[in-house]
Amino acid sequence: MSGSNEWQKRFDELAFALSEDHLTDEMSDELALILAKHPDAPRRLAEQQQLRAFLREDISDAAVLPMGRKRERFRIRFAVAAIALLVCAAFVWRPAFSVRPAPMESIVQNDGTISSDEPLDAGVAVLTQSIQAEWQSTRRYDVGTSLSPGSFELNAGVVQLEFYRGAVVVVEGPARFELVNTERMICESGKLRARVPPPADGFTIETARFELVDRGTEFGLNMAADGTGHVDVFEGRVELFDVDSNRAPESRRQVDAAGSVTVARNGTTTVVAEPTMHYVSTDEVRALAANQSATRFEAWQTASTALANDPKIVTRFDFTRDPSSDRTLRVAGQQQDGAIVGANWVEGRWPQKHALDFKRPSDRVRCQIDGDFESITLSAWVRIDGLDRPFSALLLTNGYDEGEPHWQLRGDGRLLLGIKSPSGHIAYDSNSVLDTRHIGQWTHLATVYDGSNATVTHFVNGRPAGSQPIVTHPFPLRFGDVEIGNWGAPVNYSPQKIRNLNGRIDELTLHRVPLSADEVLAVFELGRP
């Protein structure tokens, strides 16, 4: 934070203390001084107090301004109209059509050019590495997840967090910490090592006893269970202040490289001759991650080879590049290889794994799938790079004849299996679970069409994402000519509708049986990057 906003930080602290009736005489004087000195301060105090007054009521039912709602409804109507134009009139809309805004975390960071209806990234740091991490919470934190302010408890493993302001912190479990904002965190217990480049100068870690402010460049911090703190400075300098002293100059202690100090529970700082422990650095994490990645890839490869002979599988593309034939997508099993049009070979879930990148409107893989099926399971590992069109194709039959499935994504984040039935068309939608958090992340998608139990169930990352009954009389599903990542629309559909996928695929499997929820979860766990 620049100096001009320093008063605001202290001011907010004091205003909060005022609200909590914790204002000492000194703090009261300090607050009055700030009010006198800064012309914006009275306004800000009034805003804070009004906010406190609001929070006292239970405003969970407070209506969002009609303006906001109307815009949302308008977008739904527009989207429906647009889709109606694009799609054959025989399509039947299920009454369950609705757009739920994706739940986003915590607080807004807004650059002013984004409309208030769009989801915004509320994170302060992104998780960039995760080595055998075990979290106390049941929530999953995958690599690439943007973390919002809040508490975290890492029971084991090593994770690397990159704060939006620039600091890179490697945390070793067991550790309890809290993310406050883009340049501040609280360490209750555990070990961490931080690298603070110039843009992040001033990165601060609060502990129970002291406030550590980094002035570049790298240090280690360990908070032991008994409340003792160790600080080892590897490069540059850090400053330590008594916590709650508002960085009072009297309490300032400076520690330069390569110095080490211990801070006892009562606040006494002792200089120590040399670092007493090892801190995992970013280089080590990278090496660990590469090792982990190689291990996981090998495990996947072994499992993948075994699946080549699985009788339950109709066709399976493992997206292994054949150097002798760059435009061929090899298939395991009886079916034909696919013909790659346009799509380029890129990196998949692991550095050692290949994937195809679908970007341009012409990118596609053409193949053929023979056979009739009472039930099917479609599953794929997809990295969605954008959902900026009404439909994004995963696997679509050319044209749309009876019994033919269209497996695709909707622009509002739903997985869709469309089946052409004898009497029309049925759209089996998932819940709206895909959102901006999935963009750029490898995601497992699966849809189970269970002909005997008459249900269609969708899965995202191994978890059920919506289920619907099959209400038509049974009829067999068939594929024929299909395209991956695009749609070979028949001649009488015009204009050519843009539904090419914007993203990467590195595995696609078609089973002739319905997989159970446990089996889908197992597939997901096996293939997790």
Partner 1 sequence: MDTEKSRNGESNGESNDERGERYSRLLIANRRRIYGFIFTLVHDHAATEDVLQDVSATLWTKFDKFEPGTDFAAWAMSIARFKVLNWRRKQAKLPLNLDDVQFEQLADAAVSVSFESETRRSALATCLAKLSDENRMLIRERYTRNRSVASIAAEADRSRVAIYKRMSHLQTSLLHCINERLRVEGLS
Q: Which is nearer to partner 1, 12 or 256 (CB)?
A: 12
The strand pairing partners of 221, in sequence order, are 192, 231
CB 383 within 8 A of CB 443: yes
CB 500 within 8 A of CB 364: yes
Interatomic CA distance for residues 237 and 293, integer angstroms: 35
Segment interacting with partner 1 (CB under 8 A) among 181-189, 218-226, 370-378, 459-467: 181-189
Interatomic CA distance for residues 349 and 457, integer angstroms: 25
Binding of residue 23 to partner 1 (CB under 8 A): yes
Residues in Cβ contact with 505 at an 8 Å cutoff, skipping those fewer than 6 apart:
319, 355, 356, 358, 380, 381, 382, 383, 394, 484, 485
| Distance of closest approach, residue 99 Cβ to partner 1, in angstroms | 16
Interatomic CA distance for residues 452 and 361, integer angstroms: 37
Segment interacting with partner 1 (CB under 8 A) among 178-186, 248-256, 407-415, 492-500: 178-186
Binding of residue 354 to partner 1 (CB under 8 A): no
Binding of residue 48 to partner 1 (CB under 8 A): yes
| Distance of closest approach, residue 47 Cβ to partner 1, in angstroms | 6
Q: Which is nearer to partner 1, 105 or 201 (CB)?
A: 105
Tally of CA atoms within 13 A in the half-sphere of 414 that contains its CB: 21
Binding of residue 183 to partner 1 (CB under 8 A): no
Could you write out the DSSP letters of every residue in 53-75? HHHHS-GGGPPPPHHHHHHHHHH
Task: List the structure tokens of 476.
Answer: 């067999």
Binding of residue 149 to partner 1 (CB under 8 A): yes
Interatomic CA distance for residues 226 and 241, integer angstroms: 20
The whole-angstrom distance between residue 318's C-alpha and the CA centroid of its chain comes to 24
Q: Which is nearer to partner 1, 112 or 474 (CB)?
A: 112
Binding of residue 59 to partner 1 (CB under 8 A): yes
Binding of residue 138 to partner 1 (CB under 8 A): no
Q: Is beta strand 229-242 parallel, antiparallel or unpaired with respect to 204-206?
A: unpaired
Give the per-residue contact string, 298-337, with partner 1 (x = CB under 8 A; - = no). ----------------------------------------
Q: Which is nearer to partner 1, 49 or 295 (CB)?
A: 49
| Residue of the chain from 84, 150, 290, 325 that contacts partner 1 (CB under 8 A) | 150
Binding of residue 70 to partner 1 (CB under 8 A): no
Interatomic CA distance for residues 374 and 453, integer angstroms: 11
Binding of residue 12 to partner 1 (CB under 8 A): yes
Binding of residue 294 to partner 1 (CB under 8 A): no
Q: Which is nearer to partner 1, 42 or 469 (CB)?
A: 42
| Residue of the chain from 3, 4, 5, 20 that contacts partner 1 (CB under 8 A) | 20
SS3 97: coil
Q: Which is nearer to partner 1, 20 or 250 (CB)?
A: 20
Interatomic CA distance for residues 428 and 66, integer angstroms: 32
Could you write out the DSSP letters of every residue in 432-478? S---GGGTTSEEEEEEEEETTTTEEEEEETTEEEEEEE--SPP--EE
Binding of residue 491 to partner 1 (CB under 8 A): no
Segment interacting with partner 1 (CB under 8 A) among 180-188, 217-225, 260-268, 437-445: 180-188
| Residue of the chain from 162, 172, 183, 206 that contacts partner 1 (CB under 8 A) | 206
Candidates 327, 309, 311, 329; CA nearest to 319 is 329
Question: CA triplet 368, 518, 293: central angle to 5 degrees?
Answer: 75
SS3 251: helix
Q: What is the DSSP letter of 246?
A: -
Binding of residue 178 to partner 1 (CB under 8 A): yes
Binding of residue 35 to partner 1 (CB under 8 A): yes
Binding of residue 51 to partner 1 (CB under 8 A): yes
Which residues 498-517 are close enough to bind partner 1 by CB under 8 A? none
Binding of residue 52 to partner 1 (CB under 8 A): yes
Interatomic CA distance for residues 186 and 237, integer angstroms: 19
Residue with tokens 């889908």: 520
Which residues 207-236 are close enough to bind partner 1 by CB under 8 A? 208
| Distance of closest approach, residue 51 Cβ to partner 1, in angstroms | 6
CB 458 within 8 A of CB 447: yes
Interatomic CA distance for residues 506 and 500, integer angstroms: 16
Binding of residue 13 to partner 1 (CB under 8 A): yes
| Distance of closest approach, residue 279 Cβ to partner 1, in angstroms | 24
Binding of residue 273 to partner 1 (CB under 8 A): no
| Distance of closest approach, residue 150 Cβ to partner 1, in angstroms | 6
| Distance of closest approach, residue 174 Cβ to partner 1, in angstroms | 14
| Distance of closest approach, residue 236 Cβ to partner 1, in angstroms | 27
Task: List the structure tokens of 154.
Answer: 């890492």
Candidates 132, 173, 523, 161; CA nearest to 293 is 132
Binding of residue 271 to partner 1 (CB under 8 A): no
Which residues 83-112 are close enough to bind partner 1 by CB under 8 A? 104-108, 110, 112
Which residues contact partner 1 by CB under 8 A?
A: 12-13, 16, 18-21, 23, 28-29, 31-32, 35-36, 42-60, 62-65, 67-68, 104-108, 110, 112, 114-116, 122, 148-151, 178, 180-181, 186, 188, 206, 208
